[in-house]
């Protein structure tokens, strides 16, 4: 992902020369039964079949779509079937295909041409009805992955490469849709929501309302307020549990075929390469990230490059865009020690802390790590944690100004972040979750507020007086919806999130007697609001990607708020959970006459333009 727009070439990887195309000679395959395209299910004893993917995950969505396409060709696949490619289809082979459709994952789906038996080919960066040349990859369940080599016949109604603003597009795994108009992106994302309710819930069409058009992001580039590029340590310096790891073969070293392990090894700091396994693509700039993050990325890259010889394991950088509420002052850390005074282990720990790097063990570097003196290091007075911002000579034009507020790039996971959303200021640790597209948060929260009004006042009923904000985090929905409710309770299982939410009340001078933020266990999360009148209560739930577990949904159904607004970053698990709520209440005898929930609206929100990801908001009322 980066800065320069590509030319009007019909292929997103036009700068990469295509290898000489292998000659493909196809002979009819022996088949049994009447079909000339019967599925070839050759068995290999050595092939170990992995466990089924988690429900609603990227791999699960792809599984469902592959099985659906194969079923349309007359081939029914269970998970244990279809792991071997048809005879004659080999890895590395080049073949021309016509794209059938676009998957909800953003990849294209094609079928092998005759005389091959039915077999799906999944290729990134290709559009429906395009004629493409691909290189076949490893087979998986009912399909083979492929690398796009050339778009032979582009779909000019969809593809326009002049829209692309990133020099890495077509290689980086981050974006899929930069060649599309934004209206087309929003339409594709509406289809993702529709397909999720069609295939990941068992609800009849009669109870699913027409999915409304996707609400777009005010910013389509320079919107992302957090990125986490990563890098590998030099192969001959890597350790595991304090012991040296045998370097990988040269041809597998960081994806650099033919490079030596010592002097010729190439440091790459960036994101995963699409279809490249664990290969890291070196990224100097990301056009979907904010300007100040790209300034911080340059500094963080230089820090790692200058200290890479001290790393014994790969690591992940953290860069977040934060509002400056007090102008940070540069000062020399009196505890800082010169690099030459540190041991190799201390030098690595200091570099990790300096660049805001994950410690590689599932945690973060603690504040006791030795610190390198750095004239450009700035500390935020309230937090006392190191963050790297650009030197004054560079930041004068790079710092974003929003309503006269300055922004800095925070790189330490222990630093306190600040984000402005509408009239409110939110504070939270840099390591904590907060939505990564600030520009769309006001439209999103306004929509939730209006949806509750439309589901009640719009139907001639009283607006709820109480709000339950489950999975409340640092209080985004609680604060943004506060003008519409008399009492608000935010619940989360994270004590740190609750502490941030309480602090945000003080930060915005909001009345404490109107809000209650408290932790709740997953098994008894609604007990703290049992005194709320259910007929006058709205519940907003915003769970992680895995969705809600059954005990939570059981408690929600027992609590019976008047309105449920389900905000989801994974519409597939949302569809499953809504299905559970409606099916369970039906089994328990609930009907329209005695307070059964019904879905009144479903709508997508685009929090990540240029990608295939879509958020979804479902509104239920009884």
Return binding residues for S-adenosyl-L-methionine: 435, 471, 492, 542
Under 8 Å CB-to-CB from 36, ≥6 apart: which residues?
A: 28, 114, 115
Q: How far is CA 199 from CA 271, 456, 550, 573, in A?
A: 31, 30, 20, 11
DSSP of 415-467:
SEEEEEETTEEEEEETTS---SBGGGHHHHHHHHHHHHHHHHGGGT-PPPSEE
Annotated binding residues, as ranges? 435, 471, 492, 542
Burial 586-613 (b: 16+ CB within 10 A, else e): eeeebeeeeebbebbbbbbbbbbbbbbb
CA distances for 542 relative to 326, 416, 433, 441, angstroms: 31, 23, 12, 13
Strands 243-244 and 239-240: antiparallel
Q: Assign 311 to helix, strand or coil.
A: coil
Identify which of 332, 565, 308, 287 has the alpha carbon closest to the alpha carbon of residue 449.
Answer: 565
Q: Give SS3 for 474.
A: coil
- Contact at 8 Å (CB) between 355 and 304? yes
Q: Is the peptide bond before 102 cis (omega within 30 degrees of 0)?
A: no
Q: Is the dihedral of CA 64, 65, 68, 70 positive or negative?
A: negative
Q: Are 178 and 153 in contact (CB under 8 A)?
A: no
Q: Which two tokens stand for residue 187?
A: 């339409």
Catalytic residue of the set 166, 175, 286, 569:
569
Q: Give per-residue burial for 324-343: e unless 16+ CB within 10 Å, then b.
A: ebeebeeeeeeeeeeeeebe
Q: Quick check: is 569 catalytic?
A: yes
Specify the residue for token string 């099985």. Answer: 67
Exposed, middle or buried by CB within 10 Å (0-12, 13-18, 19+), for 499?
Answer: middle
DSSP states along 550-596 = HHHHHHHHHH--SEEEEEES-HHHHHHHHHHHHHHHHHTT--GGGT-
DSSP tag of 514: G
> CA 313: distance to chain centroid?
25
Which is nearest to 572 in space by CA: 77, 66, 195?
195
Distances (CA, A) of 418 to 179, 280, 313, 503: 33, 30, 31, 12
Instruction: Give the catalytic positions in this structure.
Output: 569
């Amino acid at each position: 992902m980066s800065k320069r727009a590509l030319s009007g070439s019909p292929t997103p990887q036009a700068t990469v020369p295509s290898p000489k195309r292998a000659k493909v000679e196809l002979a009819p395959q022996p088949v049994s039964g009447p079909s000339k395209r019967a599925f070839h299910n050759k068995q290999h004893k050595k092939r170990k079949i992995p466990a089924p993917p988690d429900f609603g995950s990227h791999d699960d969505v792809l599984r469902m779509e592959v099985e659906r396409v194969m079923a349309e060709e007359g081939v029914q696949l269970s998970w244990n079937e279809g792991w071997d490619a048809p005879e004659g289809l080999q890895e590395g082979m080049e073949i021309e295909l016509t794209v059938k459709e676009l998957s909800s994952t953003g990849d294209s789906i094609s079928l092998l041409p005759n005389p091959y038996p039915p077999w799906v080919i999944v290729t990134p960066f290709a559009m429906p009805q395009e004629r493409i040349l691909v290189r076949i990859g490893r087979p998986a369940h009912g399909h083979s992955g492929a690398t796009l080599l050339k778009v032979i016949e582009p779909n000019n109604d969809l593809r326009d490469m002049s829209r692309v603003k990133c020099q890495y597009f077509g290689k980086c795994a981050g974006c899929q849709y930069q060649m599309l108009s934004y209206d087309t992106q929003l339409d594709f994302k509406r289809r993702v929501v529709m397909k999720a309710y069609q295939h990941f819930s068992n609800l009849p069409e009669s109870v699913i309302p027409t999915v409304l058009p996707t609400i777009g992001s005010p910013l389509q580039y320079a919107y992302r307020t957090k990125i986490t590029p990563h890098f590998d340590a030099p192969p001959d310096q890597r350790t595991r549990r304090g012991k040296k790891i045998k370097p990988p073969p040269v041809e597998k070293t960081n994806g650099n075929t033919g490079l030596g392990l010592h002097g010729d090894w190439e440091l790459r700091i960036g994101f995963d390469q699409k279809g490249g396994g664990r290969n890291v693509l070196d990224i100097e700039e990301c056009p979907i990230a904010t300007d100040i993050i790209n300034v911080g990325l340059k500094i963080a890259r230089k820090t790692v490059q200058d200290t890479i010889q001290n790393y014994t394991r790969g690591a992940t950088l953290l860069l977040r865009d934060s509002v400056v509420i007090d102008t940070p002052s540069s000062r020399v850390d009196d505890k800082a020690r010169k690099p030459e005074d540190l041991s190799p282990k201390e030098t690595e720990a200091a570099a990790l802390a300096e660049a805001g790097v994950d410690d590689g063990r599932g945690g973060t570097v603690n504040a006791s790590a030795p610190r390198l003196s750095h004239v450009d290091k700035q500390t935020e007075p309230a937090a006392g944690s190191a963050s790297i911002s650009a030197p004054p000579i560079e930041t004068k034009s790079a710092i974003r100004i929003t309503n006269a507020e300055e922004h800095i790039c925070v790189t330490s996971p222990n630093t306190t972040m600040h984000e402005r959303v509408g009239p409110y200021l939110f504070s939270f640790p840099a390591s904590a979750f907060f939505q990564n597209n600030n520009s769309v948060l006001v439209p999103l929260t306004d929509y939730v507020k209006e949806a509750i009004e439309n589901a009640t006042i719009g139907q001639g009923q009283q607006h709820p007086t109480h709000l339950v904000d489950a999975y409340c985090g640092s209080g985004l929905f609680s604060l943004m919806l506060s003008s519409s409710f008399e009492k608000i309770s935010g619940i989360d299982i994270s004590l740190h999130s609750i502490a941030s939410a309480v602090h945000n009340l003080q930060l915005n001078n909001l009345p404490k007697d109107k809000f209650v933020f408290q932790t709740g266990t997953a098994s008894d999360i609604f007990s703290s609001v049992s005194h709320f009148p259910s007929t006058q209560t709205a519940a907003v739930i915003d769970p992680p990607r895995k969705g809600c577990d059954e005990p939570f949904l059981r408690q929600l159904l027992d609590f019976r708020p008047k309105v449920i607004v389900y905000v989801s970053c994974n519409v597939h698990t949302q569809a499953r959970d809504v299905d559970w709520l409606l099916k369970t209440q039906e089994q328990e005898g609930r009907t329209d006459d005695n307070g059964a929930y019904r879905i009144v609206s479903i709508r997508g929100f685009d929090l990540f333009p240029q990608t295939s990801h879509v958020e979804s908001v479902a509104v239920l009322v009884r």
